[in-house]
Amino acid sequence: MSNAYEMMAVACLCPKYMPVYDGFQSSTGEPENKSCINCSNYSEGVCNIDYYDTVAASLDQS
């Protein structure tokens, strides 16, 4: 996986992003920022559904 900013961008664009709710919310009432780290498909530093590279590649084209 790459840096934190790229993981946030990937999570925002990923069609399979599924947040893991840990009970914390921001001051606006929204769950914490989208990131691969907060996704139920991400564990032990790996996207278990292999979407990371595909979505990250689409970032490079924009």
Q: Is the pLDDT of residue 1 over 50?
A: no
pLDDT of residue 40: 95
Sequence letter at residue 55: V
Percentage of the chain modeled with pLDDT above 90: 60
Q: How far apart are CA 44 and CA 49, in angstroms?
A: 13
- Dihedral sign from CA coordinates of 17, 47, 56, 27: positive
Angle, helix 52-60 to helix 4-13, in steps of 10 degrees = 100
Q: How far apart are CA 8 and CA 32, in angstroms?
A: 11
pLDDT of residue 57: 93
- The whole model's pTM is what? 0.77
pLDDT of residue 24: 62
